[in-house]
């Protein structure tokens, strides 16, 4: 339980940091960063074999953020883990900063520049295949958006991963059901999403992507099946953690006002108070 409490507290702290970054920079993708925070927290503080002092260590696990626009949670976590000074978060999206609005591989801990949707999974397939060919035991994790599933390159990567039996590849879909223009089911219907991935040869598991305990349990049992890549459909809430942003499409790319920022920080602070 101690470990679970630590992860829950860390997720709240990361939400506070990313919201502060967005508020001070006056730009950012708030909703998707908040929905994916619990996933990234479990990956970086519990699951992945990484060493911030050796970001290019050959045997490290790899993480590729395919939904690159929701980078704020990732920047906050990399700074907290020590990949770069936390003070640098104050430069987010400022002129000359390397902490731009998408993952930038000039920053330690970032494997690939991403942002154009649909590229993260094919890149991760290549990394996982390289591990197999080189006899390496590292795993490759990639986080996609659900709106991103409309990209054809996703499904090309899905076929290749099954073809090469990449059981060292774990993909996650941040299934918050909202994208920039509205509901995913109105823009480009995805269901039955899990069955589609199963038909492409993947082992699929669904989880509450904002439930720390469930995430820890699922990640601890991957790969699920030898010779098959794993897909985790993580059902999340866009804008998770802040009452007035939850399930609101307007918060896909929205900066809080001073009043909203203070209300949000107050809500998150109260969440911390009960996690003792």
pLDDT tens sequence across 18-30: 999 999 999 999 9
Strand partners, 234: 174, 207
Q: Of 236, 244, 117, 120, which Cα lies nearest the Cα of 178? A: 236
What per-residue confidence (pLDDT) applies to 16?
98
Peptide bond into 192 cis (omega under 30): yes
What per-residue confidence (pLDDT) applies to 70?
94
> Residue 223 pLDDT more than 90?
no
Query: Under a CB-based contact definition with an 8 Å cutoff, are residues 142 and 66 in contact?
Result: yes
Residues 155-172 have a mean pLDDT of: 98
Could you tell me the sign of the dihedral formed by the alpha carbons of 132, 134, 136, 139, in that order? negative
Strand partners, 204: 231
Residues 84-105 have a mean pLDDT of: 97
Residues 6+ apart with CB under 8 A from 226: 167
What per-residue confidence (pLDDT) applies to 32?
97
Exposed (0-12), middle (13-18) or buried (19+): which is 52, by Cβ within 10 Å? middle
Q: What is the mean pLDDT of the chain?
A: 96
What per-residue confidence (pLDDT) applies to 236?
98
What per-residue confidence (pLDDT) applies to 189?
94
> Residue 224 pLDDT more than 90?
no
pLDDT tens sequence across 71-84: 999 999 999 999 99
Query: Under a CB-based contact definition with an 8 Å cutoff, are residues 110 and 118 in contact?
Result: no
Give 241's pLDDT tier (boundaries 50, 70, 90): very high
Write down the pTM of the prediction.
0.97
Residue spans per domain, the chain: 2-274
The topology under which CATH files domain 2-274 is Rossmann fold (3.40.50)
Give 182's pLDDT tier (boundaries 50, 70, 90): confident
- Annotate the chain with three-state secondary structure: CHHHHHHHHHHHHHHHHHHHHHHHHCCCCHHHHHHHHHHHHHHHHHHCCCCCCCCCCCCCCEEEECCCCCCHHHHHHHHHHCCCCHHHHHHCCCCCCCCCCCCCCCCCCCCCCCCCCCCHHHHHHHHHHHHHHHCCCCCEEEEEECHHHHCHHHHHHHHHHHHCCCCCEEEEEEECCEECCEEHHHHCCCCCHHHHHHHCCCEEEEEECCCHHHHHHHHCCCCCCCCCCEEEEEECCCCCCCCCCCCCHHHHHCCCCHHHHHHHHHHHHHHHHHCC
Residues 215-226 have a mean pLDDT of: 94
| Rounded Cα gap, residues 120 and 133, in angstroms | 20
Rg of the chain on CA atoms, in Å: 18
């Amino acid at each position: 339980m101690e470990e679970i409490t630590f992860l829950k507290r860390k997720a709240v702290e990361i939400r506070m940091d990313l919201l502060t970054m967005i508020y001070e920079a006056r730009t950012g993708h708030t909703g998707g960063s908040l929905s994916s925070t619990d996933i990234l927290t479990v990956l970086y503080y519990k699951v992945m074999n990484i060493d911030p002092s050796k970001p290019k260590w050959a045997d490290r696990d790899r993480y590729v953020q395919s939904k690159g626009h929701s980078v704020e949670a990732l920047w906050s976590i990399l700074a907290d883990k020590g990949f770069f000074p936390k003070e640098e978060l104050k430069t987010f999206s400022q002129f000359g900063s390397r902490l731009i609005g998408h993952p930038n591989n000039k920053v330690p801990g970032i494997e690939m520049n991403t942002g154009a949707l649909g590229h993260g999974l094919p890149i991760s397939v290549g990394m996982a295949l390289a591990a197999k060919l080189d006899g390496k035991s590292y795993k490759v994790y990639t986080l996609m958006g659900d709106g991103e599933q409309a990209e054809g390159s996703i499904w090309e990567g899905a076929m290749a991963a099954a073809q090469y039996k990449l059981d060292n590849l774990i993909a996650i879909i941040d299934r918050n059901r909202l994208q920039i223009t509205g509901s995913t089911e109105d823009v480009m219907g995805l269901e039955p999403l899990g069955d589609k991935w199963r038909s492409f040869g993947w082992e699929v598991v669904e989880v509450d992507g904002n439930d720390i305990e469930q995430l820890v349990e699922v990640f601890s049992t991957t790969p699920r099946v030898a010779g098959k890549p794993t897909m985790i459909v993580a059902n999340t809430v866009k804008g998770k953690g802040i009452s007035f942003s939850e399930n609101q499409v307007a918060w896909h790319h929205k900066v809080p006002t001073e009043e909203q920022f203070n209300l949000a920080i107050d809500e998150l602070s109260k969440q911390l108070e009960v996690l003792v």
